[in-house]
Amino acid sequence: MNKIGKAIKDSETYLKREDFYKNLLRKLNSEKEQIKLGGGKKAIERQKGKGKLTARERINKLVDDEKSFFELSTFAGYGMYKEYGGAPSSGTIYGIGKINGKFHIIIANDATVKAGAWFPITVKKNLRAQEIALENHIPVIYLVDSAGVFLPMQDEIFPDKEHFGRIFRNNAVMSAKGIPQIAAIMGPCVAGGAYLPIMSDEALIVEGEGSVFLAGSHLVKAAIGEVIDNEKLGGAKVQSNLSGVTDYVMKNDEECLQQIRSLTEKFGDQTKAGFSRIKSNPPLFSPKEIYGLLPEDPIKPYDMYELIGRITDGSEMDEYKAGYGKTIITGYARIDGWAVGIVANQRNIVKTETGEMQVGGVIYSDSADKAARFIMNCNQKKIPLIFLQDVTGFMVGSRAEHGGIIKDGAKMVNAVANSVVPKITIIVGNSFGAGNYAMCGKAYDPRFIFAYPNAKISVMGGSQASSVLLDIKLKQAEKDGKLFSEGEKKKLLNDILNSYEETSGPLYAAARLWIDEIIDPALSRDYISMALEVANNNPDTQKFNVGVIQT
């Protein structure tokens, strides 16, 4: 293997970049801490006043240790539903954590947020959690404490294919595939939501806290005139000892969580996918140095080799076709002992063998051809793929078109789409246009997709898009007989640019689940290793078939 990367001198540029990135992380972590308060301190106090743990406390007591839990979609719902007071983290927390040394998906309703009610993004978040479980064959633990569908938005939650009912369908599919699901009813569980825990393989219920029924006491009275309280209708003892709906009656949250640990400890080992892993070896350079490598302005160039050298074991990589298609870097390496194939956009301007200068971050015909062939090689060798995205798109212009850029781009997109080994994507900087697709964006089924705090995801760069949008607005105004002064044009351009930049930022993407989490670049190895360990649980890697590719 070849060593990559070099020691960094504390130059003014490096220190400025490092300070900028650390400040980004401080702001991001501050937002996270606010989100973790859920419905606020008073709502937390009310929860504790009932003798109940909060959702995050439940998770922390369930997993082996807090460091073994990777929370995902923390920013789901960020900035959304303001007319209803917001929905921090969508009112549901989920992530991947180790219980008795094995990774599980853990999904917990946060009852401090609208009593754990389901918003449209809550449904989408739960479906994403189940998708990860299905793709990777890992068990699911549901910690249920929810008032059910948020009724003012029921039309966006209930009837469609990817709405609430899909969750119960997934319960059934996972059960049929032998993926264990355990549900703990730790609060109300009403109406359609009652099916989720009962369609799990086993259900626990906490006495005095948990209840499960198709209709609560108020609705029962309104529907059939029967007067009864919720505990007698569907409390712990009724549903366990009388109806047989639930399987275990627990005295409190702590006992319930310990029982889950006891049950999961007895799960048998499953066949693994068999991805290669050896003893882990740290990089030669600190991953924290990534902060000083990345430019404040994502459009500016930097050397992607230096970033790779801070996430691969021993800062080593066997580079594939090193002298060809230089705006994409391809190579075999190990990350935390796992064998991986890396596909990364090179952001520096590069010089070809013919002396041509190619713009960094742009995919040219030769780069696309190389990447497609490398992806096929990784599939043949059963090596998972890591995509490090910082792409501004495919090359345009007459020379690129006459050289067959569409044909070569299609090769790469085809290879990515048909790839059967796990794909893990990190959006390092830019993710623009068709480059997002070719580098395994969300539409191409990465097992996990993460983003750095300064990432940008959009159809094109902000400056280009805002110029196009301004031109359209000015032409529309001219048709109506209105003319803008230069000052008005400048203000309008700034307003468009600011709006565009906001909607292309990582927080906007994370709120809508276009990415699984915004991550600290220094923790890239940890997230990649977790994702690969989870992916290794699914032995059903299909035979690779790339389909029709023009040569």
Per-residue pLDDT of 324-335, as tens digits, reads 999 999 999 999
CA 264, chain centre distance (Å)? 25
Q: Has residue 549 got a pLDDT over 70? A: no
- Distance between CA atoms of residues 48 and 54, nearest Å: 7
Which token pair is 222? 């309104």
What are the backbone angles phi and psi of residue 131, rounded to the nearest 5°? -60, -45
Confidence at residue 425, expressed as pLDDT on a 0 to 100 scale = 98
Confidence at residue 548, expressed as pLDDT on a 0 to 100 scale = 53
Confidence at residue 405, expressed as pLDDT on a 0 to 100 scale = 87
Task: Report whether 518 contacts 507 (CB < 8 A).
Answer: yes
Q: Has residue 478 got a pLDDT over 80? A: no
3-state SS class at 287? helix
What is the pLDDT of the chain when averaged over all its residues?
Answer: 91
Angle ∠(532,536,540) on CA atoms, nearest 5: 135
User: Which of residues 461 and 92 earns the better pLDDT score?
Assistant: 92
What are the backbone angles phi and psi of residue 174, rounded to the nearest 5°? -65, -40
Per-residue pLDDT of 353-402, as tens digits, reads 877 888 888 999 999 999 999 999 999 999 999 999 999 988 877 887 86
Instruction: Give 363: exposed, middle or buried? Use CB within 10 Å, 0-12, 13-18, 19+.
Output: buried
Its sign, for the CA torsion 503, 504, 506, 509, is positive
**440 DSSP 8-state letter:** T
Q: Among residues 147, 272, 251, 139, which one has the least CA distance to residue 205?
A: 251
Q: Has residue 465 got a pLDDT over 70? A: no
> For the chain, how many residues are written?
551
- Distance between CA atoms of residues 371 and 379, nearest Å: 12
Task: Report whether 252 contacts 206 (CB < 8 A).
Answer: yes
* Mean predicted confidence (pLDDT) in 98-111: 97
Of 14-23, 79-88, 153-162, the poorest mean pLDDT is in 153-162
3-state SS class at 309? coil
Which amino acid is present at 36? Answer: K
Task: Report whether 296 contacts 20 (CB < 8 A).
Answer: yes
Instruction: Give 133: exposed, middle or buried? Use CB within 10 Å, 0-12, 13-18, 19+.
Output: buried
Residue 396 CB coordination number (10 Å): 11
Confidence at residue 462, expressed as pLDDT on a 0 to 100 scale = 64
The region, left, alpha or beta by phi > 0 then psi within -120 to 50, assigned to residue 404 is: left
Per-residue pLDDT of 178-196, as tens digits, reads 999 999 999 988 876 778 8
Instruction: Give 544: exposed, middle or buried? Use CB within 10 Å, 0-12, 13-18, 19+.
Output: middle
Which token pair is 318? 């066997």
Confidence at residue 402, expressed as pLDDT on a 0 to 100 scale = 67
Confidence at residue 282, expressed as pLDDT on a 0 to 100 scale = 97
